[in-house]
Structure 1
Amino acid sequence: MTTRRSVLVVAAAGMATTSGCLGFAAGTAPLEAEADEATVADGALAETGYEVSRSERTTRTYTVTIASQSREIEASNYVSEYRKLLSVGSLEEEYLGTFSVTSAPRTELFGRTFHPFADLSDRRLAADLQSEYAGFEAVEPVGTDPVRVLGERRETHVYGAEAERGGESIEVTIHVLSVGHDGDQLVGVGVHPASLSGEKQRILSLFEGIEHD
């Protein structure tokens, strides 16, 4: 059974009449959930110089615990990633600027809300939800930045870190934002070389250009 917004699971005595829900209740099949698309507006891309790297659906299966029992949810997420050629030191014209926005379905069970990124740290989100950097070291929080996303004032969490590209270690700034919107969880991640301070405002403009269908 596929659910887009929420699922009501009633007590075992008369739990459900569909095979999908019965499989989930019995622990023999995952519950399927699908998120709406999340992208960045064309105007924000033109303003910042970022281009589309990929825009596609991905699937992530995760485990939840309900009444001391483990069950699986198969989430169909939508990820849009953008990148920009930048130069730092000996690295010339490399895709060092990256931004991604991922939409994941929020599933409600017994008054609780679940989504596949709920238990992941900002560092893990930054590593998992972009493909230009293989990983980050020496990650340290440095503050927050205000942004207006989908009509509401939000704050991105900002981190300093080290990353390796082309055999060279560079300092980067990471911006992470995770918010609920219209039944989905939206996670935005922006990364740019710390020495290119002008990219900070461009990354914030990409956050403010997020669209959620």
Structure 2
Amino acid sequence: MPGYHSAIGPQSIHTSGTTIPPMNSQRRRLLAVSGGALTGGLAGCLGFINRNEDLEFSSSPGSVSQDALDSTGYGEHEIEEAPVEETFEVAGQSRTVRLTNWHAQYDRAVDLQLLDRFQGAVFSVFSTPKFEIAGRSINPIDRWDTDRIVGMVQDRYEGLADLRRTGEYTTPMLGAEPTITEYEGRADITGTGVTIDLQLHVSGAVDHGDDFLLGLAVYPDDLPGEDDAVRTLYDGIEHEG
């Protein structure tokens, strides 16, 4: 699938005496953290699948419609596989379970006084298979509350701190009306010495087709109207599963 290319190149930016590292690496870290955290959280659950054969389950990627992207100014950065593989012992023999998850990543440039312009507003969609056995889904992600999800993200991104719940709302997503939990916090922008206040919006998992999907948004606190943009992105999530 085509990637999204920022107008900001790999050069460093100098503002107010602060040298900002290449925005591509900073954007990559912000975008990748949610997918990496969720994939890592799933990895510890696979050993509970007590079967006598190797197992493999795959999800279909989620995405955001072009209409939603156009109306919010976001662009596609990357849609990539987020696989998990775990090997464990059953009756003295090694068994392997493989999951193919997907992480879709979108962003847009924002203007901040200290940092000039960078890809600081991020929206991601994570899909993971239900991996049913005997008709019963044993993927734990639909039992994770948003506090647990945010805790995983915070553990993955060391510069994220002081996260606290501030509210919640419901919004359309894939034919459902999931509750989106809002958080406030602070984040260090890697290599700059600059800390910004930010907002996080996190959905619980939505059951759609053969998969579970959830969405996560991160953006600087002082962006006017961004909460409406995030609702549009949630409503624009698409999935063939």
Structure 2 Cα separation of the partners of residues 50 and 103 of structure 1: 20
1:170 aligned residue: 196
More helix by share: 2
In structure 2, the partner of 1:142 is 166
Q: Paired residue for 1:89, among 113, 125, 133?
A: 113
Cα distance change on mapping 1:127 and 1:49 into 2, 3 Å: farther
Please identify, of 175-184 and 113-122, the stretch whose mean Cα deviation from structure 2 is larger. Answer: 113-122
Q: Take 1:135 and 1:60, find their aligned partners in 2: how far apart are those partners? A: 25
Inter-partner Cα distance in structure 2 for 1:118 and 1:73: 19
Tell me if 1:197 matches 2:221: no
For residues 133-177 of structure 1, give each alpha carbon's deviation from its aligned partner in whole angstroms, at most 9, with x where no partner exists.
765211101111221111222221111111111321111110111
Structure (1/2) with the larger strand percentage: 1
Q: Does 1:43 align with 2:70?
A: no
Q: Does 1:188 align with 2:215?
A: yes
| Distance change in 2, residues 1:72/1:26 (3 Å) | same
TM-score, normalised with respect to structure 1: 0.75
CA distance in 1, matches of 2:200, 2:74: 16
Letter in 1 for 2:229: R
1:123-138 matches, cutoff 5 A: 123-124=150-151, 126=153, 135-138=159-162
Distance 1:114 1:88 in 2: 43
Aligned CA RMSD, in angstroms, stands at 2.8
Amino acid at match of 2:170: P
Q: How many residues align?
A: 181
CA shift digits 1:53-82 (9 cap, x unpaired): 111112023689xxxxxx753210111100
Task: Name the CA distance, whole Å, in 2 between partners of 1:171 and 1:38.
Answer: 28
Identity %: 28
Q: CA deviation at 1:197?
A: 3.3
Secondary structure in structure 2 of the residue aligned to 1:148? coil
In the TM superposition, residue 125 of structure 1 has moved relative to its aligned partner by 5.1
2:236 is aligned, of 204, 209, 213, to 209
Indicate yes or no: 2:142 matched with 1:115.
no
Relative to structure 1, the CA distance from residue 208 to residue 144 in structure 2 (aligned partners, 3 Å threshold; closer, same or farther) is: same
- Any idea what SS the aligned residue of 2:222 has? coil
CA contact (8 A) 2:176 2:206 kept: no
From the superposition, tell whether residues 80 and 33 of structure 1 become closer, same or farther in structure 2 (CA, over 3 Å): same
Cα distance, 1:115 vs. partner?
2.4
Between 1:109-118 and 1:157-166, the stretch displaced more is 109-118
Q: Which residue of 2 aligns with 1:12?
A: none
Counterpart Cα distance in 2 of 1:155 and 1:176: 9
Structure 2: state its 5+ residue gaps.
Answer: 1-49, 89-94
SS in 2 for 1:25: coil
What SS class does the counterpart of residue 76 from structure 2 fall into? strand
**Aligned partners of 2:57, 2:69: CA distance in 1, in Å?**
29
1:18 paired residue number: none
Gap runs ≥5 in structure 1: 1-23, 65-70
Q: TM-score, normalised by structure 2?
A: 0.67
CA distance in 1, matches of 2:199, 2:132: 34
SS at match of 2:172: strand
1:111 deviates by 5.5
Q: Structure 2: how far apart are the matches of 1:109 and 1:192?
A: 38
